[in-house]
Chains A and B, each alone.
Chain A
Amino acid sequence: MIVVDHVTMKYPTGKKALDDVTFHINKGEFVFIVGSSGSGKTTLIKLLLKELTPTQGEITVEGKAYSKLKRREIPMLRRKLGVVFQDFRLLKDRTVFENVAFAQQVIEKPMKEIRREVPAMLTMVGLADQYKQYPRELSGGEQQRVAIARAMINRPDIILADEPTGDLDPKNSEEIMTLLEEINKKGTTVVVVTHNREIVDQMKKRVIRLKKGQIISDVKEGGYRYED
């Protein structure tokens, strides 16, 4: 499903964010990518989203090699990837419903389908009653649920979550991870970049640990505590 093959990413400043990184993620897996600040986690997410192009190596998702993608094919690739950010990145001037519907408008879905699918998705993330509210009226955990609903509405094959619990308290963090686990159980591949030690230890999922741009461990049912 996701193949990262000898990927190196060097920024124009000369800083090497990733150094010869190789791993495979199979369909339906739940994977944590952990590491301290500056370990290359965010660069990896940006590379997977095709926001950046690696200096060396190849990334392949569902058989599509990124180096062979034409510019006009990038939107189609991104529609297979649902993305969740630490700071939620919701549109502040739009309601919960509009934020989720926005992801479908962007891929030019008919309004009829949008009106049918968005309420179902909001029910799934537990926000059916709050569809009229604006992001500022929601708690951090609720905002992240909206972000997950937006990422999931187009039924992507993969969810990429960049520090999804970074701005949340432990209780909300746990709820968000439970939601992502449920999504994963329904068949979606989930990749979570985090440095939340408790959650990683608790969930017992595959853990890829990065340090200074290199993979230092890749453990099947790992935890944060085992890697140091």
Chain B
Amino acid sequence: MKISTLRYSFKQGFINIRRNLLFSLASIGTIIACLFLFGVFYSVVLNMKHEVKMIEDSLTVTVFFEKGLDEQRIMDIGNEIKAIANVDTINYVSSDVAWKNYVNDVYNGDMNYVQNIFGSDNPLEDASSYEITLKDISLQEDTVKAIKAIPNVRKVNSSEGTAKSLNSINLFVGYASLGLILILLFVSMFLISNTITIGISVRKEEIAIMKLIGAKDSFVRTPFLVEGVMIGVIGSVIPIALLYFMYDGVVDYLTEHYNVVANLIHFVSTEEVIKGITPIALLLGIGIGFFASLLTTHKHLHV
């Protein structure tokens, strides 16, 4: 396509938007609303995923051994566990450390009180263990099975219920996002298609003349594609900007006014949210605009 034609198409695209200002604004407004909602949802999802990831990272699997194993065998078991693909980190907790942790947790670290009861004995003498974190919590069950299969492993403690709940939350969030995106795509495309159809009907005479004096389909179609894409771009830039300015405010408000929220949730930064949503929103906006125009012009431009 020649530069002069491109310039013409852009000019006509803008003229189309201006000529059907009300319908164009309605389309832009709908995309803004859709993508803003999507942005809000995305922020919530991102924060949920962040929270879930933090919980996942804190979930450990504890491996206990049979009584009386020598240090070499315990190290070998450690190496066998490390060799399992889903194992992220492995940390040896000796019986002394386990007892200290127990005293800290149960007796608030009061060693004098404990020594009065237990003397210098370590009731957890046979409770040395490996604490393991996993790369993918959804594979916990298989990983635990693999660890249990290692000889001399007596017991494996894992929080199966928590892992399953987290998995189902992740799945739900995934499906809900997909469903929402599909609905928004459909609504936006329908509205842009209407705007383009009105634009075409307003310019019907001009299009007919164009065709009769030898305009190629692409020449007739491009201004409408430009119009659709511009509606998409405007409709996606504004909600990104809104989100950028509103996110911090909302987070500050929530953490200042609701202590529970501040203690429970670790919010991701504005930059992270914007970095994630910008390409998706732009792609959605431009894609919706382009394909809605393409389909509509294809349907209506046969002269």
B1: A residues at CB distance < 8 A: 108
Question: A72: CB under 8 A from chain B?
Answer: yes
B205: A residues at CB distance < 8 A: 89, 91
Question: A51: CB under 8 A from chain B?
Answer: yes
Which one of A20-28, A99-107, A181-189 contacts B? A99-107
Question: B182: CB under 8 A from chain A?
Answer: no
- Name B209-227 residues within 8 Å CB distance of A: 209-217, 219
Chain B's nearest CB lies how many Å from the CB of A107?
5
Question: B259: CB under 8 A from chain A?
Answer: no
Bound CA span A83–B212, Å: 8
Which one of B2-10, B96-104, B167-175 contacts A? B2-10
A107/B215 in contact, CB under 8 A: yes
Question: B303: CB under 8 A from chain A?
Answer: yes
Chain A's nearest CB lies how many Å from the CB of B4?
5
B4/A78 in contact, CB under 8 A: no
B2/A106 in contact, CB under 8 A: no
Chain A's nearest CB lies how many Å from the CB of B19?
9
Question: B206: CB under 8 A from chain A?
Answer: yes
A103/B213 in contact, CB under 8 A: yes
Known: A108-B4, A108-B5. A91 touches B213 (CB 8 A): no
Q: Which of B4, B212, B215, B216 has the most CB of A within 10 A?
A: B212
A108/B209 in contact, CB under 8 A: no
Q: Quick one: CB contact mask for A86-113 with B, threshold 8 Å, 1 for yes?
A: 0001010000000000110111111100
A75/B4 in contact, CB under 8 A: no
Which A residue sits closest to B212, measured CB to CB?
A83
Chain A's nearest CB lies how many Å from the CB of B231?
22
A110/B215 in contact, CB under 8 A: no
A78/B212 in contact, CB under 8 A: yes
Q: Which of A75, A78, A109, A150 has the most CB of B within 10 A?
A: A75
- Name A107-153 residues within 8 Å CB distance of B: 107-111, 150-151
Interface residues on B, range: 10 to 19
Interface residues on A, range: 20 to 34
Partner of B215, one of A72, A75, A89, A109: A75
Bound CA span A151–B210, Å: 12
Chain B's nearest CB lies how many Å from the CB of A225?
33
Chain A's nearest CB lies how many Å from the CB of B214?
4
Question: A165: CB under 8 A from chain B?
Answer: no
Partner of A107, one of B212, B214, B303: B214
Q: Which of B209, B211, B217, B219 has the most CB of A within 10 A?
A: B209
A103: B residues at CB distance < 8 A: 213
Chain B's nearest CB lies how many Å from the CB of A226?
33
Known: A89-B205, A89-B209. A110 touches B214 (CB 8 A): no
B303/A108 in contact, CB under 8 A: no
- Name B1-25 residues within 8 Å CB distance of A: 1-2, 4-5, 8
Chain B's nearest CB lies how many Å from the CB of A221?
31
Chain A's nearest CB lies how many Å from the CB of B155?
75
A106/B219 in contact, CB under 8 A: yes
Bound CA span A71–B217, Å: 10
B217: A residues at CB distance < 8 A: 71-72, 75
| The 5 residue pairs across chains A and B that have the minimum distance between CB atoms | A79-B214, A78-B214, A106-B215, A75-B214, A75-B216
Q: A106-B215, A107-B214 are in contact. List 7 more A-B contacts (CB 8 A).
A: A72-B216, A75-B215, A76-B214, A79-B213, A89-B205, A105-B8, A151-B213
The chain B residues found within 8 Å of chain A, CB to CB, are: 1-2, 4-5, 8, 205-206, 208-217, 219, 303
Instruction: Jot down 22 A-B pairs with beta carbons below 8 A, ordered by A.
Output: A51-B212, A51-B303, A71-B217, A72-B217, A75-B214, A75-B216, A76-B214, A83-B213, A91-B206, A105-B4, A105-B5, A105-B8, A106-B214, A106-B215, A107-B214, A107-B215, A108-B1, A108-B2, A108-B4, A108-B5, A108-B219, A110-B4
